[in-house]
């Protein structure tokens, strides 16, 4: 049984829609919430911000759980879209996402634990300064977990970019851009681990490369996918 042009386009647009929602959840988690809560090097103010914005902090945890679950569904739609291009690379694409999910859920427990400590629900016999230090430690562990995850954020884009490049129903420049995007994540992750003082500056330099995912998402959502004239339709 073959996927016709209409089915191919609808699958591409579904992937684009899921990608859009996933990107929105990522922007909320990585930019908006930290801007409202985190104060670099000031544990007391950070703890006060978390307690005064507890619902926002809890919403960010729920957002991250939803985002990680959505990523699984999105990559399965992408697998359906690209499995005829290269079954091996499509499976690798799925594997590089699935392998991250348990660790990502575990890191969310660090945020929950830090909130419990800030509220005094645990470690009540500890001095306030000790509780603050421990809570900030759990938040920092979550931050470094995200930093390590950036490695896989880059790795999964390599098979995706290769599949896009080979597909012939999507522009090849998107595939190249996604691969460059993957290298950007790897470089930022490595810099954050080895030379953390340069990570923020490197982010702005790498920003054009990171827009590769945004361009890919918009193309899927707006244009969908179109079979080349004269080529057989791909199998589902």
169 lies in a domain? no
**Residue 150 pLDDT greater than 70, yes or no:** yes
Q: Summarize pLDDT for 115-135 with one digit per residue, the tens.
A: 888 888 877 777 778 888 888
Q: Is residue 208 part of a domain?
A: no
Q: Residue 202: inside a domain, yes or no?
A: no
Domain containing residue 134:
5-149+213-222
Please tell me the predicted confidence (pLDDT) of residue 1.
40
* pLDDT value for 211: 92
Structure confidence at residue 236 (pLDDT): 45
Interatomic CA distance for residues 74 and 16, integer angstroms: 9
Find the range with the poorest average confidence among 147-151, 180-184, 187-191, 224-228. 224-228
Q: Are 160 and 71 in contact (CB under 8 A)?
A: no
* Assigned domain for 79 exists: yes
Rounded CA-CA distance 47/96 in Å is 35
Query: In this model, does residue 235 exceed pLDDT 60?
Result: no
Is 140 inside a domain boundary?
yes
pLDDT value at residue 230? 54
Please determine, for residue 54, whether its predicted confidence score (pLDDT) is greater than 70. Answer: yes
What pLDDT sits at residue 120? 80
Residue 155 lies in a domain: no
Instruction: Give me the pLDDT at residue 164, please.
Output: 97
- Confidence class for position 194, pLDDT limits 50, 70, 90: confident
188: in domain = no
Question: Residues 100-110: pLDDT tens digits?
Answer: 998 888 888 88
Whether residue 180 lies inside any domain: the answer is no
Whole-angstrom distance, CA of residue 102 vs CA of residue 100: 6
Q: How many domains does the chain have?
A: 1
Task: Give the pTM.
Answer: 0.86
CA atoms within 13 A on the CB side of 148: 11
List pLDDT tens digits, range 173-186. Answer: 999 999 999 999 99
């Amino acid at each position: 049984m073959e996927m016709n042009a209409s089915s191919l386009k609808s699958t591409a647009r579904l992937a684009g829609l899921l990608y859009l929602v996933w990107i929105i959840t990522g922007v909320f988690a990585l930019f908006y919430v930290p801007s409202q809560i985190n104060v670099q090097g000031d544990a007391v103010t950070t703890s006060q911000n978390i307690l005064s914005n507890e619902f926002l902090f809890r919403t960010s945890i729920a957002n991250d759980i939803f985002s990680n679950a959505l990523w699984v569904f999105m990559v399965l739609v992408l697998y359906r879209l690209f499995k005829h291009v290269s079954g091996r690379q499509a499976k690798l694409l799925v594997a590089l996402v699935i392998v991250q999910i348990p660790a990502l859920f575990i890191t969310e427990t660090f945020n929950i634990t830090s909130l419990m400590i800030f509220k005094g629900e645990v470690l009540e016999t500890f001095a306030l300064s000790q509780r603050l230090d421990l809570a900030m430690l759990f938040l920092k562990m979550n931050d470094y977990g995200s930093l390590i995850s950036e490695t896989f954020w880059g790795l999964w884009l390599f098979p995706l970019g290769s599949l896009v490049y080979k597909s012939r129903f999507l522009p090849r420049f998107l595939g190249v851009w996604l691969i460059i995007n993957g290298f950007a994540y790897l470089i930022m992750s490595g810099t954050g681990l080895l030379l953390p003082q340069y990570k923020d500056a490197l982010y702005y330099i790498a920003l054009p490369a990171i827009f590769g995912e945004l361009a890919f998402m918009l193309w899927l959502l707006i244009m969908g996918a179109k079979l080349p004239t004269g080529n057989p339709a791909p199998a589902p």
